[in-house]
Amino acid sequence: MGEYKAINGTRSFSPDDTDDKLFLLSHSAITLGDLTECAQSHFGQDIAVPDLFIEMEYIQTRCLGHDVYDPMTTTTSLSSVGS
């Protein structure tokens, strides 16, 4: 994922998953079942909800390099870290 440019040249960003961290961009509601399924796919089938540390993050994903704060340039994501 990482950084990329839109057709109009605006720089954007999408966070990269790592071995111990999974980002779920929440453009809509995420159910606990969806979260569990994604976590098992990323961390392995033996992971369960009690093994996860889940937090919400606001990440600037659009219009990188612009000096003006605009809430429309951030994306709400769930960040899940496996134990």
Q: Can you read off the two tokens belonging to residue 15?
A: 């966070």
- Cα 83 from Cα 79, distance rounded (Å): 13
**Tally of CB atoms within 10 A around 28:** 6
- Structural domain including 24 reads 2-82
Answer for the pair 10, 62: CB distance below 8 angstroms, yes or no: yes
Question: Is the confidence at residue 83, as pLDDT, over 60?
Answer: no
The structural domain count of the chain equals 1
pLDDT for 25-79, tens place per residue? 766 678 888 888 888 998 888 888 888 888 877 777 777 776 666 666 666 666 6
State how far the alpha carbon of 2 is from the alpha carbons of 15, 44, 47, 53, in Å.
6, 23, 26, 23
pTM of the predicted protein model = 0.66
